[in-house]
């Protein structure tokens, strides 16, 4: 069973920006997306700050976010990457399986990757992730390079929307037709 410590806060700024984006989308009537909390059992709590310093994960988490966009079920996970190479160790097999089953039910699954060194957000459709995942399973690279990604899925900068993923969701839908 995994444990939680301060490393678990990595990516919290990215999640904060996505949460603000989701609030904007809700206010605009465009989407209802919720952050899925990871259930934990606290083991040690700092008495002065009342912060959890050690905990166990109660179960494997699936994705960070789930909801609906204009009648379309969506789920996605948010990841940060500080280099041009994204290691697939950052993604767990049960997440890939959940996304696969989600897509089989007619939903849309994807990742939002924030490339911190480039200051850009990337929308990685499940199909593209699955290509990299299967390549690794078959003995190939256990990572993918930024250069391998379709540049059309880089999220545009947009005033008022921190992580404007709905534009890329629309592109993903069009590319599936």
First CA to last CA distance, the chain = 41
Q: Which residues are annotated as a binding site?
A: 62, 64, 77, 95
**What's the whole-number mean pLDDT along residues 117-131?**
96
Full domain range(s) for residue 159? 3-176
- Selected residue with higher pLDDT from 44 and 109: 109
Alpha-carbon span 148 to 156, nearest angstrom: 19
Note the pLDDT tens digit of each residue in 35-78.
Answer: 987 666 666 777 788 776 776 555 566 899 999 999 999 999 99
Q: Is the dihedral of CA 83, 86, 91, 97 positive or negative?
A: positive
| CATH number for the domain harbouring residue 68 | 3.40.1350.10
Q: How is residue 11 written in tokens?
A: 């990516």
The total domain count for the chain is 1
**What's the whole-number mean pLDDT along residues 161-168?**
94
Q: Which residues are annotated as a binding site for Mg(2+)?
A: 62, 64, 77, 95
**pLDDT classification of 129: cutoffs 50, 70, 90:** very high
């Amino acid at each position: 069973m995994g444990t939680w410590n301060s490393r678990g806060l990595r990516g919290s700024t990215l999640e904060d920006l996505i949460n603000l984006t989701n609030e904007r989308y809700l206010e605009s009537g465009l989407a209802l997306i919720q952050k899925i909390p990871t259930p934990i059992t606290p083991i040690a709590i700092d008495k002065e700050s009342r912060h959890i310093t050690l905990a166990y994960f109660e179960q494997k988490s699936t994705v960070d976010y789930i909801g609906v966009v204009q009648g379309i079920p969506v789920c996605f996970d948010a990841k940060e990457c500080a280099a041009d190479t994204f290691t697939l160790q950052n993604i767990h097999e049960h997440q890939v399986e959940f996304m696969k089953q989600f897509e089989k039910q007619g939903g849309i699954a994807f990742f939002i990757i924030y490339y911190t060194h480039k200051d850009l957000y990337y929308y990685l459709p499940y199909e593209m992730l699955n290509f990299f995942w299967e390549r690794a399973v078959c003995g190939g690279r256990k990572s993918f390079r930024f250069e391998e990604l379709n540049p059309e899925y880089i999220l545009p900068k947009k005033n008022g929307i921190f992580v404007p993923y709905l534009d890329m969701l629309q592109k993903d839908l069009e590319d599936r037709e």
